Amino acid sequence: MALRVAIVGGGLGGLAAALFLRAVGAEASVYEQASELHEVGAGIVVSPNMVRPLARLGLAAALPSFAVRLEEAWEFRRWEDGRVLFSQTMGSECERLYGAPCYVAHRCDLLALFQSALPASQLHLDHRCTSVLDDGASVQLTFARRDGSGVCVAADLVIGADGIHSVIRDAIAPKVDARFSGLCAFRCLVPAERAPEMALRPVQSVWLGPKRHFVHYPISGGRFVNVVAIVPAGEWRTESWTAKGEVSDMKREFAGWDARVHQLIDSATDTKRWALYDRTPLERWTSGRISLLGDSAHAMLPFFGQGAAQAVEDASALAECLGGVGRDSAPAALLRYEDIRRPRANQVQLMSRGREIRNHLPDGPEQEQRDRDFAQGDPLRQSAWLYGHGQDSAATGS
Ligand SMILES: Cc1cc2nc3c(=O)[nH]c(=O)nc-3n(C[C@H](O)[C@H](O)[C@H](O)COP(=O)(O)OP(=O)(O)OC[C@H]3O[C@@H](n4cnc5c(N)ncnc54)[C@H](O)[C@@H]3O)c2cc1C
């Protein structure tokens, strides 16, 4: 009999897990608290280590229909005058090195792609998990629905893909609050016709300045420019994809910056604002028949653009470990999955945290040294640990 796996959470990680598990013959169902699946209007970097596993699911071929391939470059610029500190062509070089291109996409489009590959009967919306109990032989889940009713489900295994505030994690690790980074992100989509020409190039631009940075790239086949501005949070603590911010506040944060940054901010009609939290690496992800995946296992700051990519790597590795495994040996397979994935995800989690300091250096000798290092560096090759991870071995997740 096929292994029955209940996945709690229908974000990018949960859906990816269901797709990979189904591909190895497991009976995987997703339980999502929201009544419909949607991601907010924001962009996401789909790096080669996410594209390769998606190719194995047969999904990568659809990416060019909505995502923008980072053809020309990624570039780093100085805050004050836009001087290019570093620029590197990605395009075919990325494919040559890492076997896949790097895309930037609208999150909604990516989620819709994942959802389209999952039979509707395997996705249970309006199911908010309220409890999980592993009795050794199986796992019992309880869900609350909006009409006040409750649903109980039994599964051979449960995967918590329920994000940074995971309830499933509470069954595995001590309950600890997420760590506030002191930063927040303004995020907006600017229609291409309003955006300055320089922001329409298939380039990920990162402007670095004291205590903040500003990122933009085109998405949705070039119809929008995605803007992410990371700044000190002040009193802002709201962590919600839908919380509104003020464009005027974002503009004030970049007082004195290059006119092109302001041109882009001025083109925005509205913005979301999101306080940034992460978590300290967990010592374990697995207990008996329950394990974690994605942000529930390793919520990280977005400075490497890797949260979703790591979730997809998790999903791929999980399926590799569970493929052909029976009910009795499934807990051991979950431990194998954790052994493969936890060191890697922890590393990305901690390095993402560390990158804040480097990105936000005040002007001075350290910043000058950083900029000299940029000029001499080769980030595409230096990112082999990230983008090339496990290129020859599916079990490591990429
Ligand atoms: C500003 C910013 C920029 C980013 N940029 C990138 C990027 O460029 N590239 C990248 O790879 N990553 C990026 N990330 C990270 C990425 O967004 C996350 O790592 C990724 O979305 C995590 O996916 P997930 O499925 O694990 O969790 P989530 O997306 O949080 O999904 C969790 C799901 O679980 C559901 N849920 C929660 N509790 C319950 C419950 N009790 N019962 C049922 N369902 C529940 C939620 O409704 C949600 O749908 C960025 C993050 C931020 C904040």
For residue 349, is pLDDT > 50? Answer: yes
Spatial strand order of the sheet with 139-144 comes to 128-134, 139-144, 150-155
Cβ atoms within 10 Å, residue 215: 23
| Look-up of token digits 């609208």 | 106
- How far is the CA of 362 from the CAs of 78, 185, 340, in angstroms? 12, 19, 38
Q: pLDDT digit string (tens) for 277-316? A: 999 999 999 999 999 999 999 999 999 999 999 999 999 9
The pLDDT score that the predictor gives to residue 110 is 96
For residue 32, is pLDDT > 60? Answer: yes
Q: What is the CA radius of gyration of the chain?
A: 21
Cβ pair 397, 317 in contact under 8 A: yes
The pLDDT score that the predictor gives to residue 394 is 46
Torsion over CA of 95, 75, 111 and 24, rounded to 10 degrees? 30
| Calpha distance 162→137 (Å, rounded) | 23
Atom of ligand 1 lying closest to residue 45 CA:
8
Domains detected in the chain: 4-36+125-177+280-354 (3.50.50.60), 71-106+179-278+360-390 (3.30.9.30)
Q: Ligand 1 centre from 14 Cα, in Å? A: 9
Q: Ligand 1 centre from 205 Cα, in Å? A: 23
For residue 41, is pLDDT > 80? Answer: no
The confidence band for 392, taking pLDDT boundaries of 50, 70 and 90, is: low
The pLDDT score that the predictor gives to residue 378 is 85
Cβ pair 268, 192 in contact under 8 A: no
The pLDDT score that the predictor gives to residue 393 is 56
E strand or H helix at 95: helix 91-98
Ligand 1 pocket test target in 7, 30, 31, 32 with most atoms within 8 Å of CB: 32
Q: pLDDT digit string (tens) for 142-192? A: 999 999 999 999 999 999 999 999 999 999 999 999 999 999 999 999 999
Q: Ligand 1 centre from 328 Cα, in Å? A: 31
Q: pLDDT digit string (tens) for 57-103? A: 999 999 999 999 998 778 999 999 999 998 888 888 899 999 999 99
Pocket of ligand 1 (CB under 6 A): 8-14, 31-34, 44-45, 127-129, 161-163, 167, 185, 228, 274, 294-295, 302, 305-309, 311
Q: Whose CA is nearest to atom 4 of ligand 1?
A: 302
pLDDT-wise least confident of 150-154, 230-234, 360-364, 375-379 = 375-379
For residue 391, is pLDDT > 90? Answer: no
The pLDDT score that the predictor gives to residue 108 is 94
The confidence band for 231, taking pLDDT boundaries of 50, 70 and 90, is: very high
| Residue percentage of the chain with pLDDT more than 70 | 97
Q: Active-site positions?
A: 217
For 83-149, list the strands marked E by DSSP.
84-88, 103-106, 123-124, 128-134, 139-144
Q: How many helices (H) does the chain have, and how many strands (E)?
A: 12, 19
Pull the structure tokens for residue 216.
Answer: 């933009």
Cα 323–17–100 angle (5° rounding)? 95
Cβ pair 188, 227 in contact under 8 A: yes
DSSP 185: E
